[in-house]
Structure 1
Amino acid sequence: MSTIEWLSARAIRVVVPCSDPEAIRAHLSDLLGTHRLTLCRPPDIHVHEAGQGAVTAEVRMAVPLPELTGLEVTVDAMPDDRTVEGYLAHLREHAAILTPLQRPARSGDFVTVDLRATVDGRDIERGEWHGVVHEVGAGHALDGLDETLLGMSAGESTTFGTTLVGGRHRGQVAELAVTVTQVSSRTLPELDDSFAGLMGDFQTLDELRSALAWRLAARAAARHRAAAYEKAVALVAARAGITAPDDLVQRLLNEQKRHISQSLGAVGVALEDYLAAEDTAEDDVDAVLRAAIARRIEAEMLLDVIAGEPGFDGPVGEPAQPGPEAPSVAPAEAGTARRGRALAHLMNTIVLKDGNGDLLSAEQLADPRRYAVAG
Structure 2
Amino acid sequence: MNAIAVEDLVKQFDEKRAVDQVSFGITEGELLVLVGPSGCGKTTTLRLLAGLEPATGGEIRFGDKVVNEIRPKDRNVAMVFQDYAIFPHMTVFENIAYGLRSRRTPRRTVRERVPEAAKTFRIEHLLERKPRQLSGGERQRVALSRAMVRHASLYLYDEPLSNLDAQLRYQAREDILTLHREKRKPTVYVTHDQAEAMALGDRIAVMNAGKIQQIGTGPELYDTPHNLFVAYFIGTPSINLFELELEAAPDRDNGIVATGGGVALNLHPDMTERMRRHLGRKVKVGVRPEHLHVPRMAPFEVTDDNTLRGIVNLVEPTAAGSTVYLSTAEQTDFVATFKVRLPTSYLDQEVPLGVDMSKVHIFDAESGESLSGKA
Instruction: Note whether the superposition's TM-score is higher than 0.5.
Output: no
User: Highest relative contact order (Cα 8 Å, sep 6+), 1 or 2?
Assistant: 1
Structure whose residues are more often strand by fraction: 2
Structure whose residues are more often helix by fraction: 1
